[in-house]
Amino acid sequence: MVDWVTILFSASLSVSLSAIASMGLTEYRLKREQSVEEANEIDEWYTKSAEYAADVRRSWQRIFDTPEGQAANLSELQSEMSLLEGQISRHASEGEQLGVDEEPIEALDRLADECRRTAEHRTHINSYPEFEEFRQETLDAVEELEEVLER
């Protein structure tokens, strides 16, 4: 005689195991996709960090390092550094949220600090030498960030 209870139990167990395996596979795929998305976000973050370094360097070159810049429009430079400081600070915070290594975040924070120093400095008739010093310190921070990003 056929044991219907055993047959039903076996069928039920087979369906349950199949469903569990399917759910496990689906969960694995979702985690893998999420991991790939997070890796892409981190790659984009590093790319954007390099762009900020290039933007700061270009701003100094365009505004300050030209003969026209010798008669420097320091307020334009300060305005640009203020804008970049805000963007760089927010970008560093985004890196913390993404779980990026500390070293590039610290390098970005240093660059943002140098931009802030330039932006907040009170200009006067003999400001040019002070801005030369700011330029050097800011470009040092740019180079530090670029070196960290290359690693």
Domains and CATH numbers, the chain: 41-150 (1.20.120)
CA distance 113 to 78: 13
Region 10-38: mean pLDDT is 65
pLDDT at 119: 94
| List of residues 6+ apart from 32 with CB closer than 8 A | none
The per-residue pLDDT for range 39-80, each reduced to its tens digit, is 889 999 999 999 999 999 999 998 887 776 655 588 888 999
pLDDT at 86: 97
Q: Which residues contact 59 (CB under 8 A, 6 or more apart)?
A: 77, 80, 81, 84
